[in-house]
């Protein structure tokens, strides 16, 4: 069955009987007990946007609005061997990879220049956001209704997932992870957070303040380096379970990366598809230039995007490698590089 069935995600269905289920009650109770005890920070976006402050849970700073979903995933999510999970630290290329993977797995269902869903929908509307849907629905029931193979997206660190999802022996899910040079990821996050702050009529966060927060690990789903390392180590241990990509590499060699994604998902491109230029069509369709200039991504359709934490145009800014040079001082860049070097030392991961 193709993932095309999820091209129009239905609204989350809350099942009352599930909410009353004893297992769920236990998780809700655990949440109620733990939540007040957790360290909280409101530096980045205050307490607004329905996402709340950041809370520090099991070593990571996550929006308080996502915490119950995180706990529900851990306790109740039922993975399937066919699940494809795009995992990212925010601002590392989620939108791009959502589009690329969607286009790869659905390449036989649509015409690239005619009825393709990516021409009329933002990638966030084509791929279920794991913790978002669970948080919203209060249970995992919506995700259970999706046909296999499910394509889901998440910002959660690797260590947050239950064994049933991450144990290679069970070969429960396949993860595609994309990392990014922290200098560019930080600059992207700073711009993005200021857009969200403006919506709440908060003053912009000075870059120096944001920089100190980021460097000390206080960032969306941070510490940034720990997020990367969790998936990096898993990809070394279980290369069939985790495909680890770098934004810079995907940018430089997009066609090769698309082929790699196809192979990893057991959907390699045939000689016939190569002759027809399908890989290049996917690359073009999902390119920053193409996606960011589509009406659906350039404009905010209030009706369609009501309730979305992030509006479509906010997913696109420059889509370049090295834009940090326009925002960071030489000293700041040196500090970030040094932190990266220390964190990644001996792991084989680097951004050289």
Cα separation, 291 vs 260, whole angstroms: 22
Single out the residue of 7, 53, 95, 141 in contact with ligand A3P (rule: CB under 6 A): 95
Question: Could you give the 3-state DSSP secondary structure of residue 204?
Answer: coil
Task: Tell me which of 54, 60, 77, 96 binds ligand A3P, using CB under 6 A.
Answer: 96
CA end-to-end distance (rounded Å), the chain? 41
Piece of the chain touching ligand A3P by CB under 6 A; list 13-21, 93-101, 145-153, 165-173: 93-101
The site string for ligand A3P over 205-234 (x = CB under 6 A, - otherwise) reads ------------------------------
Q: Please, what is the minimum distance in Å from the beta carbon of residue 186 to ligand A3P?
A: 10
Binding part of the chain for ligand A3P, among 3-11, 86-94, 111-119, 207-215 by CB under 6 A, reads 86-94
Region 162-191 residues binding ligand A3P, contact defined as CB under 6 A: 184, 188, 191
Q: Binding marks (x or -) toward ligand A3P, 262..301, rule CB under 6 A?
A: ------------------------xxx--x----------
Q: What minimum distance in Å lies between the beta carbon of 82 and ligand A3P? A: 24
Output the six-digit token pair for 42. 């409101």
Among 159, 317, 333, 335, binds ligand A3P (CB under 6 A): 317
Q: How far apart are CA 262 and CA 268, in angstroms?
A: 5
> How far apart are the C-alpha atoms of 349 and 169, rounded to whole Å?
25
Q: How far is the CB of 116 from ligand A3P (least distance, A)?
A: 14
Q: From the candidates 76, 133, 155, 191, give the one annotated as an active-site residue.
A: 155
| Residue in 315, 332, 336, 351 binding ligand A3P, rule: CB under 6 A | 315
The length of the chain in residues reads: 352
Q: Which range of residues in 5-13, 19-27, 193-201, 314-322 is near ligand A3P by CB under 6 A?
A: 314-322
d(CA 119, CA 290): 9
Residue 110 C-beta: closest distance to ligand A3P, Å: 18
Residue 133 annotated to the active site: no
φ, ψ of residue 103 to 5 degrees: the values are -70, -35
Sign, CA torsion 172/106/136/227: positive
User: Which is closer to ligand A3P, CB of 122 or CB of 140?
Assistant: 122
Angle between helices 182-199 and 330-344 (to 10 degrees): 110
Residue closer to ligand A3P (CB basis): 215 or 291 = 291
| Of residues 261 and 291, the one with the C-beta less far from ligand A3P | 291
* DSSP bridge pairs for 178: 88, 245
**Is 312 one of the binding residues for ligand A3P (CB under 6 A)?**
no
Q: Which lies closer to ligand A3P via its Cβ, residue 172 or residue 189? A: 189
| 49 Cβ contact partners less than 8 Å away, ≥ 6 residues apart | 196, 199, 200, 309
Q: Exactly one of 87, 94, 121, 340 binds ligand A3P (CB under 6 A); which one?
A: 94
Q: 7 and 103 in contact (C-beta within 8 Å)?
A: no
Dihedral in degrees, nearest 10, Cα atoms 261, 158, 45, 51: 90
Q: How many CA atoms lie within 13 A of 190 on its CB side?
A: 21
Q: What share of the chain is helix, strand, coil (3-state, %, to 5)?
A: 50, 10, 40
Nearest CB to ligand A3P, comparing residues 308 and 318: 318
**Tokens encoding 20:** 């009353």
Does position 249 interact with ligand A3P (CB under 6 A)? The reply is no
Q: Does the footprint of ligand A3P cover residue 91 (CB under 6 A)?
A: yes
- Angstrom distance (rounded) from CA 299 to CA 82: 35
Residues within the interface to ligand A3P (CB under 6 A): 88, 90-96, 184, 188, 191, 286-288, 291, 315-319, 323
The residues that are catalytic are 155
């Amino acid at each position: 069955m193709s993932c095309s069935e999820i091209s129009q995600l239905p609204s989350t269905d809350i099942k009352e009987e599930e909410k009353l289920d004893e297992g769920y009650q236990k998780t809700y109770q655990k949440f109620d007990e733990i939540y007040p005890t957790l360290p909280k920070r409101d530096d980045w976006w205050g307490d607004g946007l329905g996402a709340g402050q950041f809370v520090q849970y099991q070593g990571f700073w996550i929006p308080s609005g996502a915490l119950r979903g995180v706990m529900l995933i851990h306790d109740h999510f039922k993975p399937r061997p066919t699940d494809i999970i795009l995992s990212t630290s925010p601002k590392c290329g989620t939108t791009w990879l959502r589009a690329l993977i969607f286009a790869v797995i659905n390449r036989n269902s649509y015409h690239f220049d005619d009825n393709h869903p990516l021409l009329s929908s933002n990638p966030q509307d084509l791929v279920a956001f794991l913790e978002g849907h669970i948080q919203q629905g209060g249970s995992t029931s919506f995700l259970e209704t999706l046909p296999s193979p499910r394509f889901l997206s998440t910002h959660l660190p690797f260590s947050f997932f239950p064994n049933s999802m991450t144990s290679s022996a069970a070969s429960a899910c396949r993860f595609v992870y994309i990392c990014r040079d922290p200098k560019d990821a930080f600059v992207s996050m700073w711009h993005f957070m200021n857009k969200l702050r403006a919506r709440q009529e908060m003053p912009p966060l000075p870059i120096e303040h944001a920089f100190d927060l980021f460097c000390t690990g206080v960032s969306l789903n941070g510490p940034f380096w720990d997020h990367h390392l969790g998936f990096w180590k898993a990809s070394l241990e279980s290369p069939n379970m985790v495909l680890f990509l770098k934004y810079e590499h995907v940018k430089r060699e997009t066609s090769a990366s698309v082929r790699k994604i196809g192979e990893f998902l057991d959907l390699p491109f045939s000689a016939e598809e190569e002759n027809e230029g399908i890989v290049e069509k996917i690359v073009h369709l999902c390119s920053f230039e193409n996606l960011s200039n589509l009406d659906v991504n350039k404009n905010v359709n209030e009706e369609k995007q009501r309730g979305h934490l992030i509006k479509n145009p906010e997913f696109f800014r420059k889509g370049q490698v090295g834009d940090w040079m326009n925002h960071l001082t030489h000293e700041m860049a040196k500090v970030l590089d040094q932190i990266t070097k220390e964190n990644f030392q001996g792991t084989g991961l680097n951004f050289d």
